[in-house]
Structure 1
């Protein structure tokens, strides 16, 4: 059999051959046509049914991909993962078919998209190559596919995201009617525009710490003590939240001294290599290995694994389920959450440690749930600055006269082309330069929106006599390592970058940050601010220069610097936050006026809640549960309750309920509000309600006695250490760790049954030792009301223990 093949037509035969024998099937295509799905769906379905790992990524460039083609892909099999690349006007032309099994691999790269003509009778040029010919190239291609598949520019394809895509598709083709006729007829329009090759991004490793022997320091001392106490108390998982710059990776290494074999999981190669260096300085008696798309060093004592590689079935099952005593999960890459779930469901470690640097990211809540609500230690960057563990800052808010209300918002970011039209102006570059000259120190990182903006501003600064470079994925003239070295030596004044320094790489000597992009994500902004706060002998404080215009989040971003954040002042929110000593915030007068005006005209609360709900619904492909809204939604779930009295009340207002559901809601609204709003000094009310719900949709609302509720009540509060510690360990309840039905029943009768009946406005009674609902439920309404009550109960229990454990 030839190891390299040239395929000019009828590619489908070659694809079927490898689909039938492969355990891993990855497809990357510029566009998908329904005709192409019809050709390939049966072999893909059979592969999915036998358990193959199938991932398909298509692009939306110029809206060639047909909505009906995406729906056809979805219909093949639920285990096939499908994502859509949001090109935002940037050309997207890859065509690749990747296959791997136990013994070999094969990939086809060429001109064939997923259309009938391209796979059958069309004239196409494709090269097929066996893994054994170029193993390094094969590994690189697989790794690049997974990086692209889980990139922030991709969205999961589901019915909700297809609906959204369909609207944009129809709008685009209404404006370009000739194109839609041509594509629909031929189904093979290839838009072969030249694309700039992506430069290889070199690794940047954290330099060896300047302090002497490697010992815990600053926050690491406190966090390590809390972690080790948690482990000693018998917990099997916990999380630590530590601001960027405090050494969360070193903390994990110090904690790892308690274990023999360790698995460290992250989503970026830079983080893996940096973590390996950190661990090696702490654990001198261990061996260390990388396990990613290129290297497979799985026999080491401490393995640093890429989640994208490890989540593949053939790699995961190489390891025994009990192969590792400690698993450390670094920051979640949100789109890859399912990959983490797959890996963590497989392994059975003695202890699971989740570490994260940005407590405001949605992923924090995901890690929290994985760690059973046990937050061993938490410190954000403001508290670290207060305690002298991070550098003080001086923040300068500079006025940006761009009118962002005229720039289209594309789901989670501004339209790139429209934004560039506003940004690539000489007068704006001049404004940025003057602000920088006024406030800068010696070494500057500049955070830009796009590659074109970074190049434009770097060129402009250089024309004014400064020494700068733009550093991004398409830069081929200088590597990241070289640029950082020049900046540290003082041979560069600034580096203009696009997201390369959000996480995984630190330059402690940086003393100036310049933000020339709208703050689309508060999480990313927090990560980027952290790049300048690391302590360094030559740095007294960090200067933060931030362009502020009327963009989204402009009026709330300053709260990130507030030492009193979270303390609600309902009378009047302060414009200027209370910053730590030695820090300062200075705003242009026009910035102050702008922020005051934005507060007066702030998007109505209900509209924002609806927008955030719809965004999550698209991500999930269905209506989110109440707990999912809390775990993954941009707005806090309690905001929905505060505004609409209940989550179901919001769904009613938002026209998200069917006509039948609306009838049920209006009949039982008082009950739903009661379950939502009843006070909980302990978890007991919801635990009893959960005991009732466990009886099923047709029996959940029937009366219950304390003795009937006792077995579940006791099991629930003692099966998890954090529940027992929080709600079942005072003087009275600690004696009940050993089950005694009568004593537990007596506790339940006293609290919550008696107390809840007295505060329920007549909806609940507790008489003659029987706890009852004082309203009837029609049989036709039982299932719906059961589901809603279950969702509220599940949400309230989770939030209660999250809050009491010190979580967000």
Structure 2
């Protein structure tokens, strides 16, 4: 029966009642206390064991949440996801409990945090709402929870992130001892600080309502520019037997249209993204390419599941109820748009569930330095790649003129929070009139007609927009808290020449295009090279009357300032690039101009002590926090911000890096020093084919105590043949010349001769005496202490898996080079 309940006492009874039957359990709470976790522990454990989707988000505001409570919470069951909202001092006070199963749902919102007194005898007010009272409100609450849960401000709670939080927690309470004592004595005192009101100036633009335009019937369109090449390579990849691939196309080249062209060969298609505007724009693109199909949206508000092509929000689809509303084989093609790293686990859950004929990841980010999720789910198989520099060279994107303006802010004094600067400290230096005046003068000197300004915060966007307005420029600050002017109206005004500039905070990173923009102004430190690349792409779309795009960029001593210019280099990663230079080699019709003081600053930053090693360590530590444990070598390659090959180049082997970084235990350090030469050999032996590592993998199949024993080609042959023929792409890459093609049908004698003649003979001859091949026996020439076997086996396995993965990844991509 539909109902709304007012609950003053013993909320725990209502929560446990619904937990016992719910297939989805979402908890959002300002803070978590040990007493609250212990009340719910057994109920949560039983729910997780029966397969319920459980997500819990708590806040770190005023460091009330107890580290022990978080540890106990995520230790209940491995399938329970716990994330912590990093508030950076901004108040965080939501309290909500959401439950849903296949037939019903219940939503509690009110004053009760996750603590014993709040859930039992404390004075609390909560409202319980049955889903049937208003299904739209319930769906909206579920959707908004997931957006908050996976927001950039949250981190996954695991052993590594908990160490970081615990240090901050104790540091804070040492500085605020009375606060700590107060919370120890009475858990339910809320230190409510008012939310700082975001200033939204009333302006001349007034209010308006923006409605989606009526569906427009388009004529079908055909691939052009990079889409032609990419489609050809993608279809060849599919024909060669691959079941997943990735396409990297710079912003402005039409990666969504490419996905639509490729989708023409499939009957049922699922397109997944993390932002609603991306879903709706993708739907319009697909409608133009395949007008005879039916199209549906599947998100928090709309559930059109019977269409041929469905555009789904990951936040909705990852819910157990909605995921299981589809059969596992519902889709022939699944397209994954680039997505936030925080949501990777939800994407993986969706992809583990479905069984498509082909999985396509599309991204505009050429460098896998901030998130590699799309790359990882496609097993590193890149079917086609073109970055914005190559696209500019080929005339597919507009040329640019880059102006680097010196910023005298000392960012080294601003606290770094792992992936961003502390907002409060950053604002102290940004909200200064002398800084605003410098920005204004640089903009007035170099600008063209229509400008996007990328800011680091809402306050900075509002402050600078107001400063520009007072000096007779037509500007607007456009962000998530702006209410005076809708986004569509502001974009139209900029395009029509009624605005000079839009100041924004991340709204235009992806999913929104304004081709007429011819000036980009960066007034934020470059914290993410991926985001910077996406934002540069906003100004490079071709447009009638636009001969080039001006990029005005503040350069200070912030992180990545000394490496981001390399993104403009036409020779980056090229073998002909002899030596790294400060000023990149840009396309002929482009230019780079730097203030003299900016040049001096960048030169100084490049001379820092071991800057490369420090960056590798920082990126490693971030990945370790995300995973909650020391990453394997392959995980470092697939998910790390720095390329794994950089660790190899700097340290010869990943395990020497771990030794240098103090990441090995005392026992592991001993093993490393004893067998370093072997690890380096496995890491660095040349591979023109995969054969050496396949032989090693065959040896490793025998287990930790036997992997290093001598072996004959005949013993290796069955595994060797099976490995190279079980995947179509392996067979086509390494088993398809005149000789080996005849071996697609297993012949032990011929396969054994191939193994003896190539990997075993060649590797023994180039191994610096570490391997031998005599009398038809392949063996290690050094002994391994039984006490060291397990560790060395694990490390050898890691290197072998990494090298095989990278080998086939590289070979698969040679067709696009």
Is residue 521 of structure 2 the alignment partner of residue 517 of structure 1? no
Deviates more, 1:250-259 or 1:427-436: 250-259
Q: Secondary structure at the match of 1:540?
A: coil
Task: Indicate the larger mover: 586-595 or 598-607.
Answer: 598-607
CA 1:422/1:647 → structure 2, altered by over 3 Å: closer, same or farther? Answer: same
Provide, for residues 468-509 of structure 1, a one-character-per-residue CA deviation record: whole Å limited to 9, x for no partner. 111111111111111111111111111111111111111111
Quote how far apart the aligned CAs of 1:203 are. 8.9
Answer yes or no: is 1:266 the counterpart of 2:273. yes
Aligned to 1:441: 448
**What CA distance in whole angstroms lies between the structure 1 residues aligned with 2:213 and 2:194?**
36
Shift of the 292–52 alpha-carbon distance from structure 1 to 2, 3 Å rule, reads same
Tell me the SS of whatever aligns to 1:442. Answer: coil
Kept in 1, the 8 Å contact 2:568–2:585? The answer is yes
Distance in 1 (alpha carbons) for counterparts of 2:237 and 2:216: 28
Determine the C-alpha separation between the residues in 1 that align with 2:79 and 2:449: 53
Instruction: Give 1:467's match in structure 2, choosing from 441, 461, 474.
Output: 474
2:369–2:643 contact (8 Å) kept in structure 1: no
Pairing partner for 2:685 from 675, 678, 681: 678
SS at 1:456 equivalent: helix
SS state of the match for residue 247, structure 2? strand
Aligned-partner SS, 1:805? helix
CA gap 1:123/1:145 in 2 versus in 1, 3 angstroms? same
Shift of 1:604: 3.5
Give per-residue Cα distances to partners, 1:435-465, cap 9 Å, x unaligned: 0001111111100000110010011111111
Moved more, 288-297 or 188-197: 188-197
**2:375 is the counterpart of 1:368:** yes
Q: 1:547 aligns with which of 543, 551, 554?
A: 554
Which residue of structure 2 aligns with residue 124 of structure 1? Answer: 124
What pairs up with 1:19-38 in 2 under 5 angstroms?
19-38=19-38
Match of 2:334 in 1: 327
1:170 equivalenced with 2:177 (yes/no): no
Aligned to 1:144: 144
Please tell me whether residue 249 in structure 1 is matched to residue 256 in structure 2: yes
Which residue number in structure 1 is paired with residue 808 of structure 2? Answer: 801
**Structure 2: distance between partners of 1:202 and 1:500:** 19
Question: In 2, distance between residues paired with 1:418 and 1:98?
Answer: 36
* Segment of structure 1 superposing worse, 659-668 or 161-170: 659-668
| Deviation, structure 1 residue 60 | 0.9
Query: Where does residue 80 of structure 1 map in the other structure?
Result: 80
The equivalent position to 1:666 in structure 2, one of 652, 666, 673, is: 673
Kept after mapping to 2: 8 A contact 1:356/1:364: no
Q: 1:161 to 1:304 in 2, by over 3 A?
A: same
Residue 206 of structure 1 contacts residue 274 of structure 1 at CA under 8 Å; is this kept in 2? no
Aligned pair partner of 1:717 in 717, 724, 741: 724
Matched, 1:772 2:793: no
Alpha-carbon distance in 2 for matches of 1:594, 1:129? 58
| TM-score (structure 2 length as normaliser) | 0.96
Contact 2:371 2:639 survives alignment (8 Å)? no
State the partner residue of 1:318: 325
How far residue 205 of structure 1 moved from its aligned partner, in angstroms, is: 8.2
Compute the displacement of 1:399 (Å).
0.8
Instruction: For 2:583 and 2:211, locate their aligned partners in 1 and report how far apart those are by CA, in whole Å.
Output: 37
Equivalence for 1:656: 663
Q: What residue is the counterpart of 2:412 in the other structure?
A: 405
Corresponding residue number in structure 1 for 2:422: 415
Structure 1, 588-597 or 445-454: larger mean CA deviation? 588-597
Task: Give matches, 1:279-294, under 5 Å.
Answer: 279-294=286-301
Q: Which residue of structure 1 lines up, in the alignment, with residue 586 of structure 2? A: 579
User: What TM-score, normalized by structure 1, do the two folds share?
Assistant: 0.97
> Match of 1:745?
752
Q: Distance in 2 between matches of 1:107 and 1:583?
A: 56
Check conservation: 1:328, 1:353, Cα contact below 8 A. yes
Asked if 2 retains the 8 angstrom alpha-carbon contact of 1:205 and 1:274, the reply is: no
**Structure 1 equivalent of residue 538 of structure 2:** 531
Gaps of 5+ in 2: 201-206
Deviation at 1:32, TM superposition (A): 0.8
Aligned to 1:275: 282
> C-alpha offsets along residues 382-419 of structure 1, whole Å, 9 cap, x if unaligned?
11111111111111111111111111111111111110
**Structure 2 SS opposite 1:221:** helix
**CA-atom RMSD in angstroms:** 2.2
Q: 1:608 aligns with which of 593, 599, 615?
A: 615
Shift of 1:237: 2.3
Give, in whole Å, the separation in 2 of the partners of 1:376 and 1:598.
37
Distance in structure 1 (CA, Å) of the matches to 2:391 and 2:579: 27
Question: Does the aligned pair in 1 maintain the 2:634–2:801 contact within 8 Å?
Answer: yes
Return the alpha-carbon distance in structure 2 between the equivalents of residues 93 and 364 of structure 1. 30
Distance 1:473 1:373 in 2: 35
Q: Could you list the per-position Cα deviations for residues 339-396 of structure 1 after superposition, in whole angstroms to 9, with x for gaps in the alignment?
A: 1221112212222211111121347744334334432211111111111111111111
* Aligned-pair CA distance for 1:805: 2.2
C-alpha distance in 2, partners of 1:224/1:502? 25
| Structural mapping, 1:129-208, within 5 Å | 129-195=129-195
Please list the CA deviations of residues 264-286 of structure 1 after superposition, one character each: whole Å capped at 9, or x if unmatched: 11111111111011111111111
Q: Contact between 1:28 and 1:96, CA under 8 Å: does it hold in 2?
A: yes
Alignment partner, residue 62 of structure 1: 62
> 2: distance between equivalents of 1:204 and 1:433?
35
Contact 2:371–2:641 at 8 Å: present in 1 too?
Answer: no
**Which of 612, 617, 630 is residue 637 of structure 2 equivalent to?**
630
Indicate if the aligned counterparts of 2:341 and 2:371 stay in contact, CA closer than 8 A. no
Kindly indicate whether the alpha-carbon contact (under 8 Å) linking 1:243 and 1:358 is maintained by their aligned counterparts in 2: yes
1:298 aligns with 2:305: yes
Q: Conserved in 2, the CA contact under 8 Å of 1:507 and 1:531? A: yes
2:240 to 233, 255, 270: 233
Query: Does the CA contact (< 8 Å) of 2:150 and 2:342 recur in 1?
Result: yes
SS where residue 732 of structure 1 aligns? helix
Check conservation: 2:2, 2:133, Cα contact below 8 A.
no
Other-structure match for 2:101 = 101
Count the aligned residue pairs. 808
C-alpha separation between the residues in 2 aligned to 1:568 and 1:557?
20
Q: Would the aligned equivalents of 2:335 and 2:359 in 1 still touch at CA under 8 Å?
A: yes
Tell me how far apart the structure 2 counterparts of residues 602 and 131 of structure 1 sit (CA, whole Å): 59
Name which of structure 1's ranges 110-119 and 353-362 shifts more when overlaid on structure 2.
353-362
Any conservation in 2 of the 1:245–1:534 contact (CA below 8 Å)?
A: yes
CA distance in structure 1 between the aligned counterparts of 2:558 and 2:24, rounded to whole angstroms: 43
Q: 1:658 to 1:618 in 2, by over 3 A?
A: same
Q: Distance in 2 between matches of 1:603 and 1:126?
A: 55
The whole-number CA distance in structure 2 between the counterparts of 1:361 and 1:469 is 33
Distance change (3 Å), C-alpha of 1:455 and 1:551:
same
Measured against aligned partners, the alpha-carbon deviations of 1:769-790 in whole angstroms (never above 9, x if no partner) come to 1101111222222111110110
- Of residues 484, 492, 500 in structure 2, which corresponds to 1:493? 500
Q: Give the match for residue 221 of structure 1.
A: 228
Conservation of the 8 A alpha-carbon contact between 2:59 and 2:84 = yes
Aligned partners of 1:27 and 1:373: how far apart in 2?
Answer: 35
Change in Cα spacing, 1:474 to 1:763, as seen in structure 2 (3 Å) is same
Task: State how far apart, in whole Å, the 2-side matches of 1:350 and 1:2 are.
Answer: 43
Matches within 5 A, 1:695-714: 695-714=702-721
Please give the alpha-carbon distance, in whole angstroms, between the structure 2 residues aligned to 1:507 and 1:643: 42
C-alpha deviation, 1:732, in angstroms? 2.1
In structure 1, C-alpha distance between the alignment counterparts of 2:468 and 2:271, rounded to whole Å: 41
* Deviations 1:39-89, CA, capped at 9 Å, x for gaps: 111111111111100000011111111111111102211110000111112
Q: 1:719 to 1:652 in 2, by over 3 A?
A: same
Deviations 1:666-716 (A, max 9, x none): 222221111111111211111100010011111111111111111111121
Instruction: Give me the whole-angstrom Cα distance separating, in 2, the residues matched to 1:733 and 1:209.
Output: 55
Question: 1:89 — aligned with what?
Answer: 89
Using the alignment, how far apart are the partners of 2:427 and 2:493 within structure 1? 29
